[in-house]
Structure 1
């Protein structure tokens, strides 16, 4: 059953990635909630009709898949409230406003420190209690489910969704502070703060898509817990490019008939081997 939910999560991330970042906050919130509501309803109906294949599948769903799906409407709701309450004032006061919001996020993590450390370190010892329909005696406190979503959600699964959303909101707040100060981290015009020239991707965009899928499928970031969408957005920011619809780009890769599907990664491999041969000759 988890294959259904994994595909659902992928479709959700693809639809959300297509949303225009420049949409007004209310429009973006409405669009996100609409997309997420369809995914949540699919989960509800699927859970009514099917059971998990094993306890491990149930844990995997409530620990990883469900929190990621639920995190997006949570994140967008927080982002909306932050944006509409931004004061019309001096740069210093606006920055202070965002810094105060950042403190709120940090306070939330401190208040839930035990569970947050379980989340951050990917501990497994309490998974049966946290992520299954466990009915045995409890020796540790569990958080209350903060809202009703139409299907059984373990309290810790919902809290993990909040952790994911709040972590992304922290990055959003830092971006807003940088934007308010007219400062881009690490870059200024054509030079970085350390005096070195600006670095940006000038190759084929499809090559970056190969790279993104390679990083995602081999679990190189955040112990394999980073979503494909997160990796793509990270590469876009780091390489100063706009990848656009990644699924369409991947379709281009799948459509390669005469050449290798992974010709960019193959070329990288060949160049590294050539370099090794050259150094050893």
Structure 2
């Protein structure tokens, strides 16, 4: 993510030592009902309920941020039918000597701790956004999406910014969130600064899910580089949700480094008036290529248990 909604002079955040591993897939249920994951060893995570999510994840950091694990964060919770969330730290804070990864990581740590422990947030992702935001003290900002599934299959979504979620049923996308932007490449974001967005700016959606539905949630590093038809083809190709998440992340990573690829990002940029200089246009050139970024992918399948 490139732009700050507010470009302010802010003090240095507290230091954070990232976990050493950042690429993962396949989760197993642990004794703790809430599992916060930024960067963790591979495992398979089954979410227990009458209707529940089996979730696989994969995270690939920006090539220049591989040693620190990037600025995306996510968590998977087994509460009720399952809770999944992604937060994408705004990289522009680095220009103010602020680590952009601290805000999204603390935000989702707070959200993870609230799930299952606070009755007010347990069935309302928008309230979860509010309380997690209020509890976050790190300087910075992030786009955030949270989806909570009830045992009857009702999925509740709250989204601020350009992280996204798509629901695939029988090979077709039946639901997709829409990105929120101030202008091109400057998404809505929850921030430590008072003039940023709040939980009231979230787009809230409800989707009735059935057994076999596939959810694809991710940061903009996925959706800027992979078209919908590629998401459907890849997510439905694999029985194992961990393998599906890994394949989608790898596809996004490959496209992001391909300077000749007509990516969703380059197509949108040209549609908003961003292109190569006029003299290059005279030579038949145009703006192409993917967008290098942190890439986080969560793939969930609705199962009956």
TM-score (norm 1): 0.31
Q: Which has the larger radius of gyration?
A: 1
